[in-house]
């Protein structure tokens, strides 16, 4: 290997000069606030509430016999009368057959059977979600009245509800009487035994 030295030569490097726009940098830089709160400030999120019409299963229609799966009357068979605006179902036993009065049920906790009745002549147009709203007491019970008072008073059914129940049951009983053995079917409670397989049943 040989090493050669070049004398009298200058190495030149081409440099590129760029103009810096300081005004643009100052505009784009984020300016820090002079004051910030010591505690975190909660910002309320905006929630958009859309009132879409409730969706229901195709198997549930007015006149369908349903099996209740939850609540006080679980295992009872009832007749679906209509779908309310809240998405709940208006059902009735009838009350004279199995003791289930007019009430609202969640369609999630019912089984729709293949038995369907024609309830188009049953007038339930005056019954809606407001029909089941509880009346607010005029005077709230204080702490002393709560501990020193007697047992809570049971709920009293109004005369209006009793009249509506009799009127609707009279129309439903005519429809039930026209179908053989339907009254006994509605009166019987739905139960399962150890050997029953619900996924293989046809309701």
- Taking alpha carbons only, the member of 162, 159, 180 closest to residue 170 is 162
Pairing assessment for the beta strands 77-83 and 110-116 based on DSSP bridges: unpaired
pLDDT tens digits, 24-37: 666 555 667 777 77
CA distance to 2, 8, 9, 11, 105, per residue, from 5 (Å): 10, 10, 10, 14, 101
CATH number of 54-132+160-192: 2.30.30.30
Q: Which of 6-20, 133-147, 182-196 has the lowest mean pLDDT?
A: 6-20
pLDDT of res. 175: 93
pLDDT tens digits, 51-89: 776 788 899 999 999 999 999 999 999 999 999 988 899
d(CA 143, CA 25): 67
pLDDT of res. 55: 82
Q: Which of 4-8, 46-50, 125-129 has the lowest mean pLDDT?
A: 4-8
pLDDT tens digits, 130-170: 888 876 654 555 666 566 666 566 777 788 888 999 999 99
Q: Are 202 and 114 in contact (CB under 8 A)?
A: yes
pLDDT of res. 138: 44
Q: Which of 1-5, 32-36, 42-46, 84-88 has the lowest mean pLDDT?
A: 1-5
d(CA 199, CA 203): 10
CA distance to 13, 76, 119, per residue, from 194 (Å): 93, 20, 36
Asked whether residue 191 carries a pLDDT value surpassing 60, the answer given is yes
Residues 6+ apart with CB under 8 A from 127: 90, 102, 164
Asked whether residue 50 carries a pLDDT value surpassing 90, the answer given is no
**Domain ranges (residues) in the chain:** 54-132+160-192
d(CA 127, CA 132): 9
pLDDT of res. 35: 73
User: pLDDT averaged over the chain?
Assistant: 80
End-to-end Cα distance, the chain: 99
């Amino acid at each position: 290997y040989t090493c050669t030295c070049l004398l009298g030569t200058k190495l030149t490097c081409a440099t590129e000069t760029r103009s810096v726009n300081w005004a643009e940098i100052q505009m784009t830089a984020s300016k820090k606030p002079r004051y910030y709160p010591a505690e975190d400030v909660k910002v309320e999120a905006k929630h958009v509430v859309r009132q879409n019409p409730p969706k229901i299963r195709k198997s549930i229609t007015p006149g369908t016999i349903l099996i209740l799966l939850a609540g006080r009357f679980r295992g009872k068979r009832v007749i679906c009368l209509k779908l309310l605006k809240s998405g709940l179902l208006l059902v009735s036993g009838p009350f004279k057959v199995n003791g289930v009065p007019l009430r609202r049920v969640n369609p999630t906790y019912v089984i729709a059977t293949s038995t369907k009745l024609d309830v188009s002549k049953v007038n339930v147009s005056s019954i809606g979600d407001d029909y089941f709203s509880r009346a607010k007491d005029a005077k709230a019970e204080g702490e002393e009245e709560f501990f020193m008072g007697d047992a809570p008073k049971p709920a009293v059914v109004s005369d209006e509800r009793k009249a509506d129940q009799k009127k609707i049951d009279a129309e439903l009983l005519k429809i039930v009487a026209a179908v053989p053995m339907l009254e006994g079917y509605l009166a019987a409670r739905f139960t399962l035994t150890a050997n029953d397989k619900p996924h293989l049943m046809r309701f």
